[in-house]
Amino acid sequence: MSRQKTILFACGTGIATSTAVNVAVTEEMKKRGLTFNAQQAKATEVPGLADTVDFIVATTPISASVTKPVIKGLAFLTGIGKDKVLDEIEAQLRK
């Protein structure tokens, strides 16, 4: 695989739900043999940071001006549809 990718985890405050999602994704990707660099930010900070990361996993809506892929991360809080989102993240990491 090529260079290590960077995921930006975003939520309203940048410390609460994005932390829970970051931890859950890190654990699950480890099981799939994948590692990545993680950053966390407030949703409002994403447009300014998007250029420095490969893609974004967010629990809150992200500005449409962001051109990097945005994956919805709410499934890691609710548990509903988690496998599908994990597959999406894996696909982005293996790109």
The dihedrals phi and psi of 9, each to the nearest 5 degrees, come to -95, 125
> x/- contact string, 4-43, with other proteins (CB under 8 A)?
--------xx-xxx-xx--xx---------------x--x
* Contact assessment for residue 25 and residue 18, using Cβ atoms and an 8 Å cutoff: no
With tokens 């993240």, the residue in question is 89
2 or 16: CB nearest other proteins: 16
63 or 95: CB nearest other proteins: 63
Residue 39 tokens, joined: 């950053």
CB count, 10 Å around CB of 53?
20
Binding site for other proteins (CB under 8 A): 12-13, 15-17, 19-20, 23-24, 40, 43, 59-61, 72, 74, 76-80
